[in-house]
Amino acid sequence: MNFYHLDTMGDDDEELALFDNFVDKIDRYSWRVHEGVPLAPDWPKDAKLFMNSENPGIKLSSLLGNTRSMLVASKEFTEILQEHCQHQEIEYLPLAIYDHRKRVRSRDYFLVNLLGSVDCLDLQASEILWDKNDPTNVIRVNKYVLQHDKVAEAPPLFRIQHDPSEYLVRTDLAQAIFDRGMTNINWTKLPFGS
Q: What is the pLDDT of residues 44-61, one digit of tens each?
A: 999 999 999 999 999 999
Q: SS3 of 39, please?
A: coil
Beta pairing, strands 163-170 & 3-6: antiparallel
Q: Is residue 57 in a domain?
A: yes
Q: Is residue 44 in a domain?
A: yes
Q: Specify the range with the lowest mean pLDDT, choosing from 43-52, 81-90, 132-141, 172-181.
A: 132-141
Q: Is residue 186 in a domain?
A: no
Given a cut of 90, is residue 109 above it in pLDDT? yes
Distances (CA, A) of 174 to 22, 186, 194: 26, 11, 24
pTM for the full model? Answer: 0.95
Q: Residue 94: which domain range?
A: 3-114
How many domains are there within the chain? 1
pLDDT above 90 coverage of the chain, percent:
97
pLDDT of residue 194: 80
